[in-house]
């Protein structure tokens, strides 16, 4: 399953809403995770099963979608949210595949 | 809390091999599904392989399956990855990681990463 993400870069002002998209090349249900990665750090799990927030993840992060179209929404961007976000499918593995990432930058 | 501590950065020549360790603390390696993910400089995440702790099966990404080996030392709770016949395109940060389960292998915990540089 090939994952694509759009846009590649998203320019957003602090306090604004950010909507990130992830699309799969074939239908696979809801076995999708989202990760946040900041420069020089390992990724951090945000969302699994398409819409369940991981422990400690703020409520401003939400995930939705199923089938082939998935969305990560950050309701009100905080300064610490500027990072790269990856989606990952984990159905019928191997392989496990990641999307190419969306960079969220300060506008 | 489970933590993963990886070995230090490596510089290797093309054609050589590299072995990276990943020590588990706060849990027992035999109970965990350890995966390896790499990231080339400025690039995205690439899954390399993972372990099913229930039967010990090691599952590899097809492009790497002839050069990549995962092993474990349960006496020291340390996982290892070895990559052979290194090429310049193997230059990357290598992460060990814990997957939630074999059925749902999203990554819940990451090591700090080990930078492997392949250069003549």
pLDDT of residue A92: 78
B54, pLDDT greater than 90: no
Q: Of A32, A96, A101, which to mutate for an interface test with B (greatest number of B Cβ within 10 Å)?
A: A96
- Residue B55: which pLDDT band, with cuts at 50, 70 and 90? confident
Nearest by CB to residue B44, choosing from A33, A48, A101, is A101
C-alpha to C-alpha distances, B8 to A15, A45, A61, B69, B94, nearest whole angstrom: 39, 24, 34, 19, 11
List, in sequence order, every residue forming a beta bridge with A29; answer none if it has no partner: none
Which range among A40-44, A60-64, A88-92 shows the weakest confidence by mean pLDDT?
A: A88-92
Which has the closest alpha carbon to B3: B25, B27, B28, B22? Answer: B25
Higher pLDDT, B16 or B1: B16
Q: Are B81 and B19 in contact (CB under 8 A)?
A: yes
The average pLDDT across A51-78 equals 97
Q: Quickly count: other Cβ atoms within 10 Å of residue A8's Cβ.
A: 10
Tally A–B CB contacts below 8 A.
58
- For B96-110, how does the pLDDT look when each residue is reduced to its tens digit (9 = 90+)? 999 999 899 999 999
pLDDT at B53: 86
Q: Is B62 on the interface with A (CB under 8 A)?
A: yes
The per-residue pLDDT for A41 is 97
Q: How far apart are CA A5 and CA A21, in angstroms?
A: 6
- pLDDT tens for B58-95 read 999 999 989 999 999 999 999 999 999 999 999 999 99
Residue A27 pLDDT exceeds 90: no
Cα separation, B61 vs B105, in Å, equals 14
Reported as a pLDDT band with limits 50, 70 and 90, residue B114 is: very high
Mean pLDDT over residues B44-48, rounded? Answer: 97
**Residue A54, burial from CB neighbour count under 10 angstroms (0-12, 13-18, 19+):** middle
- Contact status of B94 with chain A (Cβ, < 8 Å): no
Q: What is the pLDDT of residue B69?
A: 97
pLDDT, average across residues B41-51: 96
């Amino acid at each position: 399953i090939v994952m694509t993400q759009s846009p590649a870069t998203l320019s957003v002002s602090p306090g604004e809403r950010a909507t990130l998209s992830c699309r799969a090349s074939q239908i696979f249900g809801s076995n999708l995770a989202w990760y946040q990665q900041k420069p020089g750090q390992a990724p951090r799990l945000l969302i699994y099963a398409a819409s369940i927030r991981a422990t400690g993840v703020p409520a401003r992060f939400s995930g939705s979608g199923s089938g082939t179209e998935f969305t990560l929404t950050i309701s009100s961007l905080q300064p610490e949210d500027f990072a790269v976000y990856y989606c990952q499918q984990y159905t019928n593995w191997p392989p496990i595949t990641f999307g190419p990432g969306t960079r969220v930058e300060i506008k | 809390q489970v933590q993963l501590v990886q070995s230090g950065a490596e510089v290797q020549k093309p054609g050589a091999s590299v072995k990276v360790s990943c020590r588990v603390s706060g849990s027992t390696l035999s109970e965990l599904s350890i995966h390896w993910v790499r990231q080339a400089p400025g690039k995205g995440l690439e899954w390399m392989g993972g372990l099913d702790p229930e039967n010990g099966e090691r599952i590899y990404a097809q492009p790497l399956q002839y050069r990549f080996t995962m092993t474990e030392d349960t006496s020291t709770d340390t996982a290892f990855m070895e990559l052979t016949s290194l090429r310049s395109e193997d230059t990357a940060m290598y992460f060990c990681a814990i997957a939630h389960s074999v059925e749902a292998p999203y990554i819940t915990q990451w090591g700090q990463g080990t930078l492997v540089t392949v250069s003549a």
